[in-house]
Amino acid sequence: MKYLKILLFFITLNTFAQQGGMWIPSLLEGMNEDEMTSLGSKLTAKDIYDINNSSLKDAIGHFNGGCTSEVISPKGLILTNHHCGFSQIQSHSSLENDYLKNGFWAMSYEEELPNNGLFVEFIVSIHDVSKNVLADINENMTEKEKQSTIDKNSNGILKNWTKEAWQDVKVKSFYKGNQYFLFVTERFEDIRLVGAPPTSIGKFGSDTDNWVFPRHTGDFSLFRIYADANNRPAKYNINNKPYTPKHFLPISLDGVEEGDFTMVFGFPGRTNEYLPAVAIEHITKNYNPTNIAIREAALKVINEKMKADDDVRIKYASKQARIANAWKKWIGENLGIEKSNAVEKRRAFETTYTKALKEKGLEEKYGDILPEFNRLYKDFAPVDIKRRNFIEVFLTTNELMQMTFRTYQVVQAIKDNPSVFERAKESLIGRFKGIHKNYNVDVDRGIFNSVMPLYANHVDASIYDKTAFTNLDSALKLLEGSPKEVLKNINNDAAYKYAKPLIDEFYNVIDKEFQQKNETITALQTKYMTALMEALPNARYFPDANSTLRVTYGQVRGYAPRDAVYYNHVSYLDGVIEKYIPGDYEFDVPQKLRDLYAAKDYGQYADTNGKVPVCFLGTNHTTGGNSGSPAIDAHGNLVGLNFDRVWEGTMSDMNYDPEICRNIMVDLRYVLFIIDKYAGVKHLIDEMELVHPKK
């Protein structure tokens, strides 16, 4: 009996350790708390999220809506990824002050650089408002009626919620609209750049190493939150003070070993874990490949020109990184899905689910869902692909087409309502200026020539010689005069004339059809979620990521990507030196770092084996948006900075497989080593609280 108990314990322990999931921080008591404890955590659910006292969650900030950051000092110092602060670092950079290339370190508060538009948002509290949001919803309503009732209820709740003047509230949907939570938030808008390593450290390995392990990237940057005299959120003001946080994370100097507990606390953006097999098949076999091809065509042009010209390199740095990032992710996603037989496995799961429906007498109620998915996806696939290809060409890769697209939108707005002319014009001027700040017409023409044939039958690059859009002054001239004159100017422009029928088709045919079909599929997905939870009530359900605060936990662990190959859980500075290629744009290593390595001048940042750890792997289930998230040890200390996933595991957005899905974190000791030994900014280290939980 005792044996059996121990055996059972190990079996559960093992499945627990392996399962992934992104959990709501206010609901950890019970199952999650037990799982975390079984994995080695010493934290209680209240240590992580507490509505009445300060807790770990108070140190976690949503960084500009797309990444995560954490407070690491009593003076509002925050840590995030280099790639999360990349566009800010880029915007302060020029050929004279090339912070991308050389790094940036503020030596005093006065030298910290303000960033227009950048914000960090904290979660004050989380409340389940499902009952009120779903009040008056019934099965006889159409999807539109349901949604408008939900919106009405949510708005009512938001309006009556008691909050402080400087706080905001929002309601978000979970489990495909089966549950709703309200978030009280505080948004800080005076966020200044404090430090960033050179790209040769912060983006070491660039696209070749992106999404892969072994990895040697020091992907971090430092910012500081400033608040008003009352320590409350405020717009930029020279008189603002460094923010005093409710909580900041102490940093462990003891690192991690394989098997150690870690949790990643942050704002994952979007996952799709409950798709039917037919959807996974559509995405990986048809949808991804076409979008990969478009991005690949654009990247060929951009990469070549960036290598040849420093001005282009700086201007296109952010754009290139954005385009390359998803391009490579999708390739990995496809590989992972194929290699792990995810579609077949999902089909096998669907058989189990269908059997459960039968056994529970739910066939009548839910039996049509899977066949319906099969029918709908067949019908939806072509328009889904066509629409996304349009977006890839017109909004992601080619900027002349982007300018015509924005102009088209403004023309429509003015046609519908002439009184918006001035406002629409202003917003368009803003768009043009934004694009032209980082624009090179030769690069853009090259992109046009390579991506347009993948979308349209008729390609005419001669528009580049005739259009006004490719030069800021002439583009702005298009917008001078009365509304009538402006419309005439625009309609006469060669690029606009070329793009207009394509955009017409997008709005009048493609997007219309997409929205209609997508709405039906979304409604079915909601029903499927309900059905799954009823048919298989004992399975472990976590809500798909939706850019809200989540906890994911696991253990430090290596993995076997293929037969006879095993990746260790940790990489070292030795690997940086191994990869070093003098002068290479991806694998160059700064002289100073090579000197520190040669002298073994590691200070307190080496591991017990005398080496400086750079990155490590864990089984934490993360996604885009978790960039910059803290990896926290069993005691609540910061040990790592999440920034990526492994190539074979990027499919975890649809299919988390414990065998090969791993998140990649920078070891905090590497971050501190770079700040202290490489950059020599000791005063930042002095601000932090360094601890030794293992000694």
Active site residues: 83, 219, 627
**For residue 592, which of 666, 667, 670, 679 has the smallest C-alpha distance?**
679
> Which parts of 636-665 interact with ligand GLU (CB under 6 A)?
643-645
Please pick, from the candidates 75, 83, 146, 315, the single residue that binds ligand ARG as defined by CB under 6 A: 83
Interface mask (CB under 6 A) for ligand GLU, residues 466-505, using x and -?
----------------------------------------
**For residue 683, which of 71, 77, 37, 15 has the smallest C-alpha distance?**
77
Does 624 contact ligand GLU by CB under 6 A? Answer: yes
Determine the distance from the C-alpha atom of residue 145 to the mean position of all C-alpha atoms in its chain, rounded to a whole number.
32
Q: Which residue has the tokens 């006292």?
A: 53
How far is CA 429 from each of CA 407, 409, 413, 425, 473, rounded to the nearest angstrom?
10, 13, 15, 6, 11
- The region of 7-15, 249-257, 485-493, 617-625 touching ligand GLU under the rule CB under 6 A is 617-625
Cβ at position 405, least distance to ligand GLU in Å: 25
**For residue 637, which of 246, 264, 249, 256 has the smallest C-alpha distance?**
249
Please pick, from the candidates 623, 631, 655, 657, the single residue that binds ligand GLU as defined by CB under 6 A: 623
Nearer Cβ to ligand GLU, position 242 or 625? 625
Does 626 contact ligand GLU by CB under 6 A? Answer: yes
Q: Cβ contacts of residue 107 below 8 Å, gap of 6+?
A: 681, 683
Does 207 contact ligand ARG by CB under 6 A? Answer: yes
Residue 398 interacts with, from ligand GLU, ligand ARG, none (CB under 5-8 Å by kind):
none
Residue 284 interacts with, from ligand ARG, ligand GLU, none (CB under 5-8 Å by kind):
none
Answer whether 459's CB lies under 8 Å from 449's CB.
yes
Max Cα-Cα span within the chain: 88
- The region of 97-105, 107-115, 136-144, 621-629 touching ligand GLU under the rule CB under 6 A is 621-629
Does 644 contact ligand ARG by CB under 6 A? Answer: yes
Nearer Cβ to ligand GLU, position 320 or 470? 320
Answer whether 190's CB lies under 8 Å from 114's CB.
yes
Count of residues binding ligand ARG (CB under 6 A)? 13
Nearer Cβ to ligand ARG, position 174 or 643? 643
471 DSSP assignment:
S
Interface mask (CB under 6 A) for ligand GLU, residues 62-101, using x and -?
-----x----------------------------------
User: How many other C-beta atoms lie within 10 A of the C-beta of residue 519?
Assistant: 13
Nearer Cβ to ligand ARG, position 237 or 325? 325
Does 627 contact ligand GLU by CB under 6 A? Answer: yes
- The region of 233-241, 344-352, 487-495, 624-632 touching ligand GLU under the rule CB under 6 A is 624-632
Cβ at position 222, least distance to ligand GLU in Å: 17
User: How many other C-beta atoms lie within 10 A of the C-beta of residue 130?
Assistant: 18
- The region of 146-154, 204-212, 237-245, 563-571 touching ligand ARG under the rule CB under 6 A is 204-212
DSSP 580-600: --TT-TTT---HHHHHHHHTT
Return the structure tokens found at 369. 């869902």
Nearer Cβ to ligand GLU, position 520 or 547? 547
479 DSSP assignment:
T
- Residue 562, phi then psi, degrees to nearest 5: -160, 175
Interface mask (CB under 6 A) for ligand ARG, residues 301-340, using x and -?
--------------------x--xx---------------
How far is CA 112 from each of CA 73, 125, 196, 678, rounded to the nearest angstrom?
16, 31, 11, 19
**For residue 556, which of 506, 509, 607 has the smallest C-alpha distance?**
607
State how far the Cα of 106 lies from the Cα of 110, in Å rounded to an integer: 8
Residue 211 interacts with, from ligand GLU, ligand ARG, none (CB under 5-8 Å by kind):
ligand ARG
- Reading phi first (left if > 0) and then psi (alpha if -120 to 50, else beta), residue 361 is in left
Please pick, from the candidates 32, 88, 199, 210, the single residue that binds ligand ARG as defined by CB under 6 A: 210
Task: Please give the residue ranges that form the binding site for ligand ARG (CB under 6 A).
Answer: 83, 203, 206-207, 210-211, 321, 324-325, 624, 627, 643-644
Binding residues (CB under 6 A) for ligand GLU: these are: 67, 622-627, 643-645
